[in-house]
Chain A
């Protein structure tokens, strides 16, 4: 990170805050095809390693009295499990591996993205849109399979006055289809914005007078980004749970 500013010929203050999001082939130059091994591949692979390192390796001893890392794994498990169970009830528990996959992937990818010079996979719509679409499709298909036409009751607010119901139905329908959009843009937007802002502050560090302020600002932003990295994963997961609940119990 933080070297593009010097690359510019003229003025010392040139920002390329978005360059950190460029997808590049890992080996050699060339076009990025579908199967090219790119920096995306590398950091997604690191996300897998992180998941394994967090949940698989520390639990290999199956200790009754857990070690520190095993405790972390168990607490993570309990955290997501309880979230799912609280929102969806016992019925939702069978989606636990799915929800846990989403949570672990986003959390690991977000935190890996905080490593300087890393590539943040979750800052890309190409990553978050499939995630959100998968949730949307799961919920919609599951809703119709489990409830049949009764799933449409989600849009027909039976507790509202009859005259208002058609209007509410339209609003509900729109909000239902906006879900995957907001779901994906929220995650990518938050992560991308934070990283870009850090990059902009880093660009200001090229001016000697401002650089102390710039360093302070980067530190503060980094702290905020650590928070955001976790909170966005949490939000994505909890919204997934809420949507799943709609599919399982469509009545309002």
Chain B
């Protein structure tokens, strides 16, 4: 400001001929009416703008936001309760399923066990029967074998006796062979 070098015989007693201030321009009462006039207009305009437009609008925005937040909080509370409920139901279902599974498993186990026991018993019986049969067969074979040995031995003994020039006494030979094979 005030670069204009010279003159300008101006606004009363507050500015010198170089356009510089004399003393404090704040105390130049020549300018007061002008400043106060425009200040009052400015303040009235700002007051009207604020009280008619800006402040009610901002108050409405804040109130609306508060309402939205309250609603959202309530909704969140609701949803949270629902979530807890759902979790409880889920846990309950889980526990039910688990006990059911345990029951089924136990049942199956018992069934299998019973079947198994049955089969084992049956197998045991079969094995016992087979063993007895085998034993019998073995005894028979053994008896058969003994008998054939005796027959062979008697025949051989009789042949031997005859070959040695003796008289084959069948009874004596049979007794001797019996006596020998008994041991």
- The answer, yes or no, to whether A41 is at the interface (CB within 8 Å) is yes
Taken together as a complex, chains A and B put the C-alpha atoms of A32 and B25 apart, in Å, by: 13
- The answer, yes or no, to whether B42 is at the interface (CB within 8 Å) is yes
Could you say which residues of chain A place their CB within 8 Å of the CB of B32? 126
Contact of B11 with A55 in the complex, beta carbons under 8 Å: no
- The answer, yes or no, to whether B99 is at the interface (CB within 8 Å) is no
Whether A19 contacts B38 in the complex (CB less than 8 A), given A62-B57, A74-B58, A96-B55, comes out as no
Q: Looking at the complex, which one of B21, B57, B58, B64 makes contact with A18 (CB distance below 8 Å)?
A: B21
Taken together as a complex, chains A and B put the C-alpha atoms of A34 and B31 apart, in Å, by: 8
Q: Looking at the complex, which one of A29, A38, A64, A73 makes contact with B34 (CB distance below 8 Å)?
A: A38
Whether A55 contacts B21 in the complex (CB less than 8 A), given A104-B50, A126-B31, comes out as no
Stretch of B1-9, B109-117, B120-128 contacting A (4+ beta carbons < 8 Å): B1-9
Taken together as a complex, chains A and B put the C-alpha atoms of A198 and B42 apart, in Å, by: 28
Q: Looking at the complex, which one of B23, B49, B62 makes contact with A77 (CB distance below 8 Å)?
A: B62
Could you say which residues of chain B place their CB within 8 Å of the CB of A25? 11
CB proximity to A under 8 Å, residues B26-49: 26-28, 30-43, 45-47, 49
Could you say which residues of chain B place their CB within 8 Å of the CB of A70? 61
- The answer, yes or no, to whether A30 is at the interface (CB within 8 Å) is yes
Smallest beta-carbon distance B26→chain A, Å: 5
Contact of B10 with A23 in the complex, beta carbons under 8 Å: no
Contact of B18 with A7 in the complex, beta carbons under 8 Å: yes
Give the size range of B's interface with the partner.
35 or more
Taken together as a complex, chains A and B put the C-alpha atoms of A98 and B46 apart, in Å, by: 10
A59 to B, closest residue via Cβ:
B57
Whether A24 contacts B11 in the complex (CB less than 8 A), given A4-B3, A7-B18, A34-B33, comes out as yes
Mask for A32-73, Cβ within 8 A of B = 1, else 0?
111110101100110110011001100100111010001001
Contact of B34 with A101 in the complex, beta carbons under 8 Å: no
Smallest beta-carbon distance A94→chain B, Å: 11
Q: Looking at the complex, which one of A97, A121, A125 makes contact with B27 (CB distance below 8 Å)?
A: A125
Contact of A97 with B39 in the complex, beta carbons under 8 Å: no
Q: Enumerate 8 A-B pairs (CB-CB under 8 Å) in ascending A order.
A: A7-B18, A18-B24, A22-B15, A22-B21, A22-B25, A31-B10, A51-B54, A105-B43
Q: What 7 pairs across the A-B complex have the smallest Cβ distances?
A: A126-B35, A97-B51, A55-B54, A21-B25, A34-B33, A44-B42, A23-B31
Known A31-B30, A40-B38, A64-B61; 18 more pairs at CB < 8 Å: A3-B3, A16-B20, A18-B23, A24-B11, A32-B11, A32-B30, A34-B34, A35-B37, A51-B50, A55-B55, A59-B57, A62-B60, A64-B64, A64-B68, A101-B51, A117-B1, A127-B39, A130-B40
